[in-house]
């Protein structure tokens, strides 16, 4: 509860707006000047020198106005441009400016002629705006400024605040050193370095608090705000060289994102994860029960790949941690590699290439066959298997498939009732099974013996699915004519030396788990997975979660949202609704989804309610996690 009167003093350029207004004015006035780029850069440099206190502000103003060559008629265009450049978090918290109008001032070394029209839309009247004013020639040309205004002088903000003689606490919010000096001079009680648009070392290193956005400033001051928790306080850790687009997407949305290029061991991850809210990994980092137990703040684990075997899904579920993956994003990449390897195996391309590399010319058609008319056997008819089926058929192959589940055939593909039947007719077998632990050595001596003599095998699914020793023996004996392997029972955590029993065997294509590693696939994954993270963190949506009840929620409009994760035991929902009823809450929507272990209930309600209800809901027996969104 705020008892002492507070005064909030905002800078304008690069704080209330994303830009420096005089830089924008330069873009307008110098539009047809052949030296536009050079002049604008000079103006920017002079602006920064003034902001950082390297030159007097009076000198900075004089030099910039001279370079601008601006006219009063240019100001309407400038105002129109600035209205589109209001800082994102300022714009989203317009209600704060309306409700606290009597406590808000703007003190800027900019000019009232363009500041007043912008801030009046935020309920800040002209008399609460303290800034410079232009001087105009008879023809409207801007020739100077009011030199008697203290804001045109060095450290003018200090004098301005002194002259205002405000009662109560004074907090200054700005991006520049000229804002900080008000705190240093003792005329301001607190200084918030505002870094949403620009971060200046000289400013941030002296600040009482760094505010990456207005949400953070409002949160620290316990003031009403547009969102319940500043996104910059939500820490996201991305491991294993996740595509940079993921970092860009998440940081642009306001989250604090750290990237690490390698995977981490269990102990390293336990040490790192204590303050992390969202963890992003690929296939080499293991999220074990010990890691989950140490993750006090963890809300989401995201696999930037298809498989989730490296994540203890049950341990995550029991702690209310939602897990997402990317089941579709690299499908096309895997399929294209499978098609390419099928063709190379059938044409013995790998042997012929090796011979040339070794200085040997061996032009021959022996062992080289077209794929047209050959029988392709697909084991696992999921997303990858189905797309492979379509492309292989387009190449003229006869497609057959086997799956433990009942899957509808695409095109002219033929479903086989038994694996043995499929193996007995196929010229090429390609594996696309999931990472279920029961699939270990799924394809071994027995299955290889059931294949046609001289057939080929492609494995782009999971390394532990194939008995490597059995495969190596079959290749050496000639039972299998060739193989392409992209995955292995044991794979190193980082690039370097590697050994496999298949090394050196002829007509064996070996690749280091690159089936889904294309620029396009990694970019698609870096778009898909962050979208799932943001949908859950920002609104509570769990669509496509692999370990959690799936709920697609409607858009939240002018309401608060309670997210309650609890053990799925009798009576929990009754207790939740009893509390909601006791506090006479006006519920606008309620959504529930459960699985055998966990229940997830979301309640939307009017913004006005007794805040005691939050603590009551947190303490409901069986509660795993509870949070409020608005």
The catalytic residues are 462, 491, 513
Alpha carbon 59 to its chain centroid, in Å, reads 43
3-state secondary structure labels for all residues of 202-225: HHHCCCCEEECCHHHHHHHCCCCC
Q: Give the tokens for residue 504.
A: 């050196």
DSSP label of 14: I
Report the SS3 class of residue 20: coil
Residues with Cβ within 8 Å of 537's Cβ and at least 6 positions away in sequence, in order, are 231, 234, 255, 277, 278, 299, 300
Q: Give the tokens for residue 511.
A: 């690749």
Residue pair 87/197 in contact by the 8 Å Cβ criterion: yes
Residue pair 407/381 in contact by the 8 Å Cβ criterion: yes
Q: How far apart are CA 370 and CA 392, in angstroms?
A: 12
User: What percent helix, strand, coil does the chain show, rounded to 5?
Assistant: 40, 20, 40
What is the DSSP pairing of strand 322-324 with strand 142-145?
unpaired
Alpha carbon 10 to its chain centroid, in Å, reads 30
Q: CA of 463: how far to CAs of 77, 445, 570, in Å?
A: 63, 16, 42
Residue for token pair 């969202």: 278
DSSP label of 306: S
Residue for token pair 């307008």: 28
Q: How far apart are CA 246 and CA 531, in angstroms?
A: 9
Largest CA distance in the chain: 98
* Residue of 510, 498, 369, 350 lying closest to 428 (CA atoms): 369
Q: CA of 158: how far to CAs of 9, 36, 132, 188, 350, in Å?
A: 12, 35, 14, 9, 76
**DSSP letters for 68-105:** H--BGGGHHHHHHHHHT-B-HHHHHTHHHHHHTGGGEE
Cβ atoms within 10 Å of 313's Cβ, excluding its own = 17
Residue pair 43/22 in contact by the 8 Å Cβ criterion: yes
Helices vs strands, H then E, count in the chain: 24, 24
């Amino acid at each position: 509860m705020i008892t002492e009167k507070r005064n909030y003093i905002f800078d304008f350029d690069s704080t209330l707006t994303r830009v420096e207004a005089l830089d924008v004015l330069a873009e307008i006035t110098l539009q047809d000047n052949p030296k536009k780029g050079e002049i604008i850069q000079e103006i920017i440099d002079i602006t920064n020198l003034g902001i950082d206190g390297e030159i007097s502000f009076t000198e900075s103003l004089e030099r910039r106005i001279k370079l601008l060559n601006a006219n009063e008629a240019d100001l309407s265009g400038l105002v129109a441009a600035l209205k589109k450049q209001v800082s994102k978090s300022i714009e989203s918290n317009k209600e704060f400016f309306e409700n606290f109008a009597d406590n808000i001032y703007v003190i800027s070394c900019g000019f009232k002629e363009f500041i007043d029209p912008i801030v009046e839309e935020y309920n800040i009247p002209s008399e609460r705006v303290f800034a410079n004013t232009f001087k105009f020639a008879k023809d409207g040309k801007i020739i100077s400024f009011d030199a008697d205004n203290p804001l045109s002088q060095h450290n003018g903000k200090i004098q301005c605040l002194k002259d205002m003689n405000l009662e109560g606490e004074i907090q200054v919010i700005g991006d520049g050193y000229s804002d900080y000096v008000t705190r240093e001079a003792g005329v301001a009680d607190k200084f918030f370095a505002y870094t949403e648009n620009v971060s200046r070392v000289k400013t941030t290193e002296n600040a009482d608090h760094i505010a990456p956005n207005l949400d953070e400033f409002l949160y620290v001051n316990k003031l009403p705000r547009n969102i319940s928790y500043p996104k910059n306080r939500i820490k996201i850790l991305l491991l294993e060289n996740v595509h940079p687009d993921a970092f860009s997407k998440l940081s642009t949305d306001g989250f604090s994102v750290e990237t690490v290029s390698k995977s981490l061991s269990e102990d390293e991850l336990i040490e790192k994860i204590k303050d992390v809210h969202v963890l992003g990994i690929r296939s080499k980092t293991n999220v074990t029960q010990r890691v989950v137990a140490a993750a006090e703040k963890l809300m989401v684990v995201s696999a930037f790949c298809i498989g989730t075997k490296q994540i203890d899904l049950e341990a995550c579920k029991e702690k209310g941690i939602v897990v997402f993956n990317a089941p579709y994003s690299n499908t096309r990449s895997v399929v294209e590699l499978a098609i390419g390897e099928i063709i190379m195996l059938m044409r013995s391309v790998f042997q012929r290439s090796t011979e040339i590399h070794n200085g040997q010319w061996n032009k021959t058609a022996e062992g080289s066959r077209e794929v047209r008319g050959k029988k392709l056997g697909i084991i696992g008819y999921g997303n990858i298997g189905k797309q492979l089926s379509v492309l292989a058929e387009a190449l003229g192959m006869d497609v057959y498939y086997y799956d433990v589940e009942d899957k509808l055939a695409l095109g002219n593909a033929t479903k086989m009732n038994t694996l043995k039947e499929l193996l007995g007719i196929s010229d090429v077998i390609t594996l696309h099974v999931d990472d279920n632990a029961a699939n270990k050595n799924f394809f071994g001596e027995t299955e290889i013996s059931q294949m046609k003599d001289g057939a080929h095998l492609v494995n782009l699914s999971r390394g532990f699915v194939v008995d490597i020793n059995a495969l190596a023996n079959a290749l050496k004996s000639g039972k299998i004519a060739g193989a392409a392997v992209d995955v292995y029972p044991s794979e190193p955590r980082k690039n370097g030396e590697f050994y496999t029993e298949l090394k050196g065997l002829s007509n064996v294509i070996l690749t280091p788990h690159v089936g889904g590693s294309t620029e396009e696939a990694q970019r698609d994954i870096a778009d898909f997975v962050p979208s799932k993270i943001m949908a859950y963190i920002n609104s509570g949506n769990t669509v496509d979660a692999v370990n959690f009840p799936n709920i697609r929620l409607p858009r939240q409009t002018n309401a608060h949202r309670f997210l309650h994760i609890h053990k799925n035991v009798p009576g929990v929902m009754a207790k939740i609704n009893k509390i909601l009823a006791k506090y006479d809450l006006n519920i606008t929507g309620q959504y529930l989804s459960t699985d055998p272990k966990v229940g997830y209930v979301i309640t939307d309600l009017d913004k006005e309610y007794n805040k005691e209800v939050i603590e009551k809901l947190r303490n409901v027996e069986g509660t795993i996690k509870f949070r409020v969104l608005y």
